[in-house]
Amino acid sequence: MAVREIATKAYLDQKSGTAGLRKKVAVFQQPHYLENFLQSVFDCAPELKGQTLVLGGDGRHHNRAAIQTAIAIAAGNGIQRVIVGQGGLLSTPAASHLIRLRKAAGGLILTASHNPAGPDGDFGIKFNIGNGGQASESLTDRIYEQSKVLSRYRIFEGSYVDIDRRGLQTIGDMEIEIVDCVDDYAALMQEMFDFDRIREWLRKGHSIRFDAMHAVTGPYAQRIFVEMLGAPLNSIVNASPLEDFGGGHPDPNLIYAKPLVDLLFGDRAPDFGAASDGDGDRNMILGRGIFISPGDSLAMLAAHLNKLPGYKDGIAGIARSMPTCRAADKVAKAMAVPMYETPTGWKFFCNLLETGRITICGEESFGTGSSHVREKDGLWAVLAWLNVLAVTGLSVKEIAEAHWKHYGRHYYARHDYDELSAATATQVMQHLAGLGTELPGQKFGDWTVTQADEFSYQDPLDGSIAANQGLRIVFGDDARIILRLSGTGTKGATLRLYLERYEQHESSLAWKTNEALAPLVNIADKIIKLGEITGRKAPSVIT
Ligand code: G16
């Protein structure tokens, strides 16, 4: 057994999207497909040579086979040590933490996030750099360019590693260290939060329900909530990770986590409910009879963060992605800290976190996180909420109502139009882009358009510019309509329509979200003509 150079034919479709390369499992199973992509990564990241690499995934179908391939290609490319989560499991935030903790030069995270799994489902791979964050767009572009001209890859042939056995193994000169996937992450959480207070809160009879959706967070939730915090065993459901995620769609939102939502809105609701996604970076927060939208969750956590041990010094700044509602902006203003608006994609937060400009950030797509790692972190958000409940003694509903009373309320929804043809999706975008200059000043109902443009972002650290990051129609502080193309789908094109309406009068703080947004939906329809152009009568999913 030795390192060999294998001749290969380049694939032309290995372009990373919002968060890594995501394709159908069958695509990844084509001969040399994964090997090619990995070789392109190693070619474009020479700093990995002789260094440590972290490797793990969300446990979906093809994870175990892909881990073996990644180890063999790493050995072929002179990696000194690979740290692998036992069983091939590592949640995305735990992988980010491990990269930082062990001063690895980078990491490979095998995940297609919340996308369905199984032989007919999706697979994915992300390359994270030495700071624990996802590779920048310029780096993933270089990897893509390399993948198109690749003609050989280097592999340690015939290697096999027992990824279920903890401890050290070797392949040639390379060491493979199999680690418990929870240990280091759980220790980090213990540093950030007041576990004694949360334990006490639970001991006093407060109840929680966490839905791991048969994805990667099961073992993490079991250790942290049950073993460390003393929550009863039945506080966690769907806790065993399955290769097909139990046939479900592990996206923690009102649609795909419906049983949890029904429980929290039912007669026997626990005090707190939460769910995470396939790879553990997303979260959904619920209280008894209330859903906290991701934008609100970011704002509410930001407002309370200095009450938690890991954030005693307060916060340096806040960031949100452009389509995320502007609730956190109100908090930043009140706290007199900077607020940043970035394109969709967690990678855009990384330089802000790395330079200490922000402490907390979040996205409408059920992502919240902080400076403790360089990925969004589902369980972090759940623990942060539990810690806030424990120190304030308030319920989720009381926290939300007090927040809205103080800052006003942002009603918010996202309408997804899935599986459109690329041509149709482009037509819709072009139609709206074409209206840009004539919209400002026009009145629709009670609102006047103050700005209509395409969002672009300049990174304050490296000066790089990300253009074409979504079209926005802004009605001052009152409302926004945003349209952008998703970068994570694996079938056709997905258009996302984001709707935000701000109200601050006390009489307007308890409306139903769909009713509050109905006038805005009509305006969006009038301007964008989504229904007319796509022929769709309704969105595929509303979250
Ligand atoms: C990924 C990114 C997020 C992004 C989300 C949706 O999340 O990490 O930053 O908000 O996709 O992206 P899009 O709107 O382009 O589909 P995840 O949890 O899928 O890795």
| Ligand 1: residue whose CA is nearest its atom 1 | 19
Q: What pLDDT score was predicted for residue 487?
A: 84
- The residue contributing the CA closest to ligand 1 atom 19 is 113
Counting ligand 1 atoms within 8 A of each CB, the residue from 217, 320, 346 with the most, and so the one to mutate, is 346
Q: Is 498 in the pocket of ligand 1 (CB under 6 A)?
A: no
State residue 270 phi and psi, 5-degree precision: -70, 175
pLDDT at 532 over 80: yes
Residue 156 is predicted with a pLDDT of 97
Do 185-407 and 3-181 fall under one CATH topology?
Answer: yes
Mean pLDDT of 179-183: 98
What's the gap in Å between 20 CA and the centre of ligand 1?
A: 10
Structure tokens at 263: 């429980």
As a CATH number, domain 409-542 is: 3.30.310.50
- With a 6 Å cutoff on the Cβ, whether 18 touches ligand 1 is yes
169-182 burial, b at 16+ Cβ within 10 Å, e below that, comes to bebeebbbebbebb
Report the catalytic residues: 113
Contact at 8 Å (CB) between 277 and 215? yes
484 CA distance to ligand 1 middle (Å): 12
Instruction: pLDDT band for 10, please (50, 70, 90 cuts).
Output: very high
Angle 33-44/137-149 helices, nearest 10 degrees?
120
Average pLDDT over every residue of 221-229: 98
HSE-up of 255 (CA within 13 Å, CB side)?
A: 14
Q: What is the distance in A from the centroid of ligand 1 to the CA of 367?
A: 8
Residue among 413, 411, 418, 412 at smallest CA distance from 485:
418
Separation in Å, CA 354 to CA 109, 130, 131, 135, 347: 20, 11, 8, 13, 11
Query: Could you give the angle at the alpha carbon of 158 between the alpha carbons of 153 and 160, nearest 5°?
Result: 110
Q: What sign results for the dihedral spanned by CA atoms 26, 31, 32, 35?
A: positive
Question: What pLDDT, on a 0 to 100 scale, did the predictor assign at position 195?
Answer: 98
Q: Is the CB of residue 486 below 6 angstroms from any atom belonging to ligand 1? A: yes
Best residue among 344, 347, 541 to mutate for probing ligand 1's pocket (most ligand atoms within 8 Å of CB) is: 344
Task: Decide whether any atom of ligand 1 lies within 6 Å of the 128 Cβ.
Answer: no
Is the pLDDT at 436 greater than 80? The verdict is: no
8 Å CB contact between 81 and 174: yes
| Predicted pLDDT of residue 489 | 76
Assigned token pair, 468: 């074409």
Distance between CA atoms of 368 and 355, rounded to whole angstroms?
A: 19
How far from 455 is each of 68, 323, 543, CA to CA, in Å? 41, 10, 22
Taking only Cα atoms into account, the Rg of the chain, rounded to an integer number of angstroms, comes to 23
Beta strand ranges found along 255-363 (DSSP E): 272-276, 283-287, 290-292, 318-321, 339-342, 360-363
Ligand 1 contact, 282 CB (< 6 A): yes
**Residue 358 CA to its chain's centroid (Å):** 18
230 close to ligand 1 (CB < 6 Angstrom): no
Coil, helix or strand at residue 528: helix
What pLDDT was estimated at residue 18? 84
Sign, CA dihedral 213-217-221-227, equals positive
For domain 3-181, the CATH class is alpha beta
Q: What is the pLDDT of residue 440?
A: 96
285-340 residue pLDDT tens: 999 999 999 999 999 999 999 999 999 999 999 999 999 999 999 999 999 999 99
Q: For 493-509, give one letter per residue: b (16+ CB within 10 A) or e.
A: bbbbbbbbbbbeeeeeb
Q: Which residue puts its alpha carbon closest to atom 3 of ligand 1?
A: 345
**Residue 118, amino acid:** G
281 in contact with ligand 1, CB cutoff 6 A: yes
Is residue 487 within 6 Å of ligand 1 at its C-beta?
yes
Average pLDDT value for residue range 163-188: 97
Match 């903890």 to its residue by tokens: 166
Backbone angles phi, psi at 290, to 5 degrees: -150, 140
- Contact criterion met (CB below 8 Å) for 425 and 499: no
* Percentage of the chain modeled with pLDDT above 90: 95
Task: Give the Cβ contact number of residue 538 at 10 Å.
Answer: 9
Q: Which of 115, 365, 366 to mutate to test the pocket of ligand 1 (most atoms within 8 A of CB)?
A: 365
Q: For residue range 457-481, what is the model confidence (pLDDT) as tens digits?
A: 999 988 999 999 999 999 999 999 9
Strands 283-287 and 290-292 turn out to be: antiparallel
For ligand 1, whether the C-beta of 140 sits within 6 Å is no
Facing residues of 124 across strands? Answer: 22
pLDDT of 142 strictly over 80: yes
Q: Which atom of ligand 1 is nearest to the CA of 346?
A: 9
Range from 97-111, 489-503, 525-539 that averages highest in pLDDT: 97-111
Q: Is 213 a residue whose pLDDT tops 80?
A: yes
Q: What single string gives the DSSP state of each residue in 166-185?
A: -EEEEETTEEEEEE-SSHHH
User: What's the pLDDT at 490?
Assistant: 74
Closest CA to 301 of 371, 375, 379, 388: 388
Distance CA 106, CA 452 (A): 39
Confidence of residue 380 (pLDDT cuts 50, 70, 90): very high
Distance 424 CA to ligand 1 centre (A): 22
Tokens standing for residue 225: 């909530």
Residue 67 has pLDDT above 80, yes or no: yes
* Tokens 């253009």, residue located: 467
Q: Where are the domains of the chain?
A: 3-181, 185-407, 409-542
For residue 94, how many other CB atoms are within 10 A of its CB?
32
CATH number for the segment(s) 185-407 = 3.40.120.10
Tens digit of each residue's pLDDT (9 = 90 or more) over 357-375: 999 999 999 999 999 999 9
CB 304 within 8 A of CB 285: no
**CA nearest to 350, candidates 428, 493, 462:** 462
Task: Give the pair of three-digit tokens for residue 273.
Answer: 């409910």
pLDDT at 1 over 80: no
Question: Ligand 1 centre and the CA of 187: distance in Å?
Answer: 27
**HEC per residue, 7-64:** ECCCCCCCCCECCEEEEEHHHHCCCCHHHHHHHHHHHHCHHHCCCEEEEEECCCCCHH
Nearest CA to ligand 1 atom 7: 19
486-496-241-158 Cα dihedral, nearest 10 degrees: -10
What's the gap in Å between 486 CA and the centre of ligand 1? 8
Residue 424 contacts residue 492 (beta carbons within 8 Å): no
Cα(342) to ligand 1 centroid in Å equals: 13
Ligand 1 atom 4: residue of nearest CA: 345
Is residue 145 packed enough to be buried (19+ CB in 10 Å), middle (13-18) or exposed (0-12)? middle
d(CA 495, CA 415): 8
What integer is the mean pLDDT of 61-72? Answer: 98
Question: Residue 84 Cα, ligand 1 centroid: separation in angstroms?
Answer: 24
**All residues at 6 or more sequence positions from 251 whose CB lies less than 8 Å from its CB, including other chains:** 114, 257, 277, 278, 282, 366
Tens digit of pLDDT for each residue in 388-429? 999 999 999 999 999 999 999 999 999 999 999 999 999 999
Q: Does ligand 1 have an atom closer than 6 angstroms to the CB of 371? A: no
Q: Which atom of ligand 1 is nearest to the CA of 126?
A: 20
CB hemisphere CA count around 334 (13 angstroms): 14
